[in-house]
Amino acid sequence: QKEVEQNSGPLSVPEGAIASLNCTYSDRGSQSFFWYRQYSGKSPELIMSIYSNGDKEDGRFTAQLNKASQYVSLLIRDSQPSDSATYLCAVGTHTGRRALTFGSGTRLQVQP
């Protein structure tokens, strides 16, 4: 079992719809959770961070965390073609190696 799991996609949504991206993690000691966006051929860009259970909203993006279920999600409202990218979930533990563990990413396609 991978430490951080994501559906590889592609997830295809029409323009204006809500895109829902999901991520599960295996280490119950994880304390920091991040979503990165990566356009093809570019480096990952941090778009959301969340540290406590519940929802965190930033513009069109909402991150949701449920530590009991070991589940993180990212909602993108009013999806735009420019949101088409691969979204990477990353999880951090504050013990041991103290580095982020990345999922393999979900490719999102927003259809005009």
Residue 23 binds other proteins (CB under 8 A) = no
Identity of the residue, 14 or 54, whose beta carbon is nearer to other proteins in the bound complex: 54
Residue 92 binds other proteins (CB under 8 A) = yes
Distance of closest approach, residue 74 Cβ to other proteins, in angstroms = 16
Say if residues 79 and 59 touch (Cβ distance below 8 Å).
no
Distance of closest approach, residue 32 Cβ to other proteins, in angstroms = 5
Residue 47 binds other proteins (CB under 8 A) = no
Neighbour-count burial of 7, counting CB atoms closer than 10 A to its CB (0-12 exposed, 13-18 middle, 19+ buried): middle
